Chain A
Amino acid sequence: MKFLSLVSNEWIKIFSRTRTWVFIALPILIVLGVAIYGKVTEDDTVKSNWKQEVTQQNKELKSQIAEAKKDNSPKFVAQSLENEYKQNQYALKNDISPYETTSWKFMKDMAPLSSLLGLFVIVIASDIVAGEFAKGTIKMLLIRPYSRWKILLSKLIATLAFAFFLWVILVVATWLFGSILYGFGGMDQPYLSMIDGKVHEKLISEYVLANMGLEFIEFAVTVFLAFMVSTLFYSSSVAIGISLFLTFAGNALVLFISSKSWAKYTLFPNMDLTQYLDEGLQVVKGMSLSFSLGMLAIYSALFLIITFAVFQKRDVKA
């Protein structure tokens, strides 16, 4: 069990930093704040008159769609507006209020917080190798009786475990605060999604769980990317900067290259797995969930091979 002590060493180091506790506390505080704010400002009149509200929304959507078609915005913009329009119609017809908040609805609404966690995970992953080079502690680590790949693997596992830990915290916190404020249960609330241009009814819990699962896969790939950057660069601030830039500029890049035929083979369009939960959100055409998972597997393998090969060979002069 010698290898496990390497992982626990890394884990201890992660948790000995103040920033780690900020990374843990911040999402919890945000979820709590949003939950309380939502509860306090809950508008009962909208809730009871939701049909009026949704009809009004649809009027606006209609003009927006017409506008989008006129001024040549990308196709998917009109597409997603149209989807929203259709979903609203379906809701009106079947008497499913989109203003009904349950704990699971709350969890769904809080899902975008995962990109904040992604940011924290990038910081940890970028720093875990580069930081040791920057401070010179890497040589104290590498003179121990362990092959280099074991030391690197222990860092990778510790980072993934930390990412998983943050993710669990977000899930538990949203579920718990949601349940306390909006009541436990609500798993069977219907959720509307689009399949082949038609509105389908799903269980919201099903959607939330699928969403979280896919987001964790995105997390893992982000870790591999940041981990590679961390190994290639000696300075942790440079590594963090590059990882963040790649991740966020990557998303902007997707829009830029979306019309190219090779766009689907690049990393970033495939990084957003939750796009497959709602049809019509895809920016790049011709991809499916299994296609994206395959591409991510290939990219991850590539990142890891580069990371381990470079680390194994490198002369440490820090």
Chain B
Amino acid sequence: METVHTLELKEVTKKMKGKNVVDHLSFGVRKGEIFGLLGPNGAGKTTTIRMIVGLISMSGGEILVNGLDIRKNYEKAMEQIGAIVENPQMYDYLTGYKNLMQYARMLPGVTRERIDEVVKLVDLEQAIHKKVKTYSLGMRQRLGVAQALLHRPSLLILDEPTNGLDPQGMHDLRNYLRLLADQGTSVVVSSHILAEMELMCDRVAVMQHGKLVRIDNVTNVTDQAQARVHFLLENEMNEAKSLLAEHFPAKTVEVSEKELIVEANTNQEIGDINKRLVEAGFLVYGIQVKKKTLEERFLEMTGKGGNLNEVSVAGQ
């Protein structure tokens, strides 16, 4: 069963100076979903995006946009993409409007009404007839979003779109992306900031060293996060530890001063552990459940600590 993907990467590889900057990367973006590419700087996100929009050649693999191979049907495939690659650099000696006119002339079916509509959407009506060199970073970013949307692309690609946006701007962008996605546009967003992706995306692909580390629904990536449960005890820490080791052999138990730290996923587990401790006569005076932050999970997935099983590709 193959679902129709707006964007599909198959074994995409980019070699630079003998190194695979992007290494056999495969994933698919479904119609109407917001898909996040997540990874630290240098993970290969931008290189991947540049390959999708044709700025960088592929060393191997295949990229399909609505089923069109971008190598064989370049122009047809590009017609369906709107993009911002890193900072949207505009012609600063032209006005915002004239910049949009430049791109409008290059795209099929963009009317003046459509330009006005997009300008209104990104809230640049006041400044659109001023030269871009007078724009703030946030205004440039919004103009960048406007040019990407002009021709109602079915695939919208935004590389680090929130750079330079204030919280209000980020909020507006999120809402707008959600609206577009609900109308059937597929959106690919890259970022190295996890919290942003959590708020914005349906699914995320985590990249590290050019490889796909994990791909999953954003809620899974965040919720599956194992909780670290801290049981606060008065004393006899080591006895308590051996008790737990006996009854819960699968768990690793850490001891730190007056705490036993156990990884647990469900309330049931936490309750069971507590029951054992209490029944054995330990005085449990507190239980703290500390969910791992996304940050910690991310570090784990990208190889700084954490177990390797989890680092392998899941959810494909």
Contact B106 A6, beta carbon cutoff 8 Å: yes
Of the listed stretches A91-99, A155-163, A166-174, A309-317, name the one at the interface; the rest are far from the partner chain. Answer: A309-317
Quick one: closest A residue to B147, CB to CB? Answer: A140
Distance to closest chain A CB from B87 (angstroms): 7
How would you classify the secondary structure of chain B's contact residues: helix, strand, loop or mixed? loop
Interface residue A56 (Cβ < 8 Å from any Cβ of B): no
Complex Cα distance, B53 from A317, in Å, reads: 12
Contact at A12–B106, with CB atoms within 8 Å? no
Interface residues of A, dominant DSSP: helix
How many angstroms between the C-alpha atoms of A6 and B106 in the bound complex? 7
Bound CA–CA A225/B90 (angstroms): 27
- Give the residue name and chain of the A residue nearest to B131 (CB): A16
> What residues of A have a CB within 8 angstroms of the CB of B54 in the complex?
142-143
Contacts A9-B106, A12-B102; A143 near B94 (Cβ below 8 A): no
184-221 of chain A: CB within 8 A of chain B: none
Given A144-B78, A145-B76, A146-B75, decide whether A316 and B89 contact each other with a Cβ distance below 8 A. no
A5, A140, A313: the one contacting B88 at CB < 8 Å is A140
A75 within 8 A of partner (CB)? no
Whether a CB of chain A sits under 8 angstroms from the CB of B248 is no
Is A39 part of the contact surface with B, judged by Cβ < 8 Å?
no
The segment from A77-85, A131-139, A251-259, A293-301 found at the interface with B is A131-139
Neighbour of A139 across the interface among B55, B74, B98, CB < 8 A:
B55
Q: Report the count of interface residues on B (CB-CB < 8 A).
A: 32
**Interface flag for A8 (CB, 8 Å):** yes
Q: Is B85 interfacial (CB-CB < 8 Å)?
A: yes
Residues A315 and B89 in contact, CB atoms below 8 Å apart: no
- CB-contact partner of A145 in B57, B78, B102, under 8 A: B78
A45 CB–B CB distance under 8 Å = no
A17–B102 Cα distance when bound, in Å, is 15
- Within 8 Å of chain B (Cβ to Cβ): is A73? no
Given contacts A9-B102, A316-B50, A316-B55, contact A143 B93 (CB under 8 A): no
Q: Is the CB of B85 within 8 A of A317?
A: no
Q: A16-B94, A17-B93 are in contact. Are A143 and B105 (CB under 8 A)?
A: no
- Considering only CB atoms, which chain B residue lies closest to A151 in the complex? B106
Query: For B176, what are the chain A residues with a Cβ–Cβ distance below 8 Å?
Result: none
Interface residue? A63 (CB, 8 A): no
B81 within 8 A of A: yes
Q: Which of B53, B98, B107, B108 contacts A12 (CB 8 A)?
A: B98
CA distance A194 to B194 in the complex (A): 80
Q: Is A13 an interface residue (CB 8 A)?
A: yes
Known: A139-B85, A143-B83, A146-B78. 4 other contacts (CB 8 A): A16-B93, A16-B98, A136-B89, A145-B74
A-side residues, CB < 8 A to B, are 2, 5-6, 8-9, 12-13, 16-17, 135-137, 139-140, 142-147, 313, 315-317
Name B's A-contacting residues (CB within 8 A).
Answer: 50, 53-57, 74-79, 81, 83, 85-94, 98, 102-103, 105-108, 147
Give 17 pairs: A residue, B residue, CB < 8 Å, sorted on A. A2-B106, A12-B98, A16-B94, A136-B86, A139-B55, A139-B89, A142-B55, A143-B55, A143-B83, A144-B106, A145-B77, A145-B108, A146-B78, A146-B106, A315-B50, A315-B55, A315-B56
